[in-house]
């Protein structure tokens, strides 16, 4: 598995540059870049809070790879 660069569109429509760890077409982890900082997805609620959002505003998200 390797990290792939792309963009993530959250459920509320915001788009962030990101790196996604993908295996067999399934996203295993996400690193979103916000204001030159990395926010890693480990716990869904904590992930959303670090972005200043509620989990309902983040999930489900879509992604696009470069």
Q: For residues 63 and 5, what is the distance between their CA atoms, to the nearest angstrom?
A: 10
Q: Which helix (H) or strand (E) holds 29?
A: strand 26-34
Domain housing 30: 3-65
User: Residue 1 has what pLDDT?
Assistant: 63
Q: For the chain, how many structural domains are there in total?
A: 1
Do residues 12 and 62 touch, judged by C-beta distance below 8 A? no
User: Residue 33 has what pLDDT?
Assistant: 93
CA angle 28, 9, 56 (to 5 degrees): 80
User: Residue 45 has what pLDDT?
Assistant: 81
User: Residue 39 has what pLDDT?
Assistant: 83
- Going through 10-61 in order, the beta strands assigned E by DSSP cover 15-23, 26-34, 37-40
User: Residue 7 has what pLDDT?
Assistant: 95
What does the pLDDT profile of the chain (66 residues) look like in tens digits? 678 999 999 999 999 999 988 877 778 788 889 888 888 766 778 888 888 998 888 888 888 888
């Amino acid at each position: 598995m390797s990290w792939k660069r792309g963009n993530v569109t959250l459920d509320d429509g915001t788009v962030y540059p990101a790196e996604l760890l993908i295996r067999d077409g399934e996203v295993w982890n996400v690193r979103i870049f916000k204001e030159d900082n990395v926010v890693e997805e480990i716990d869904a609620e904590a992930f959303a809070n670090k972005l200043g959002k509620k989990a309902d505003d983040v999930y489900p998200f879509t992604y696009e790879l470069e």
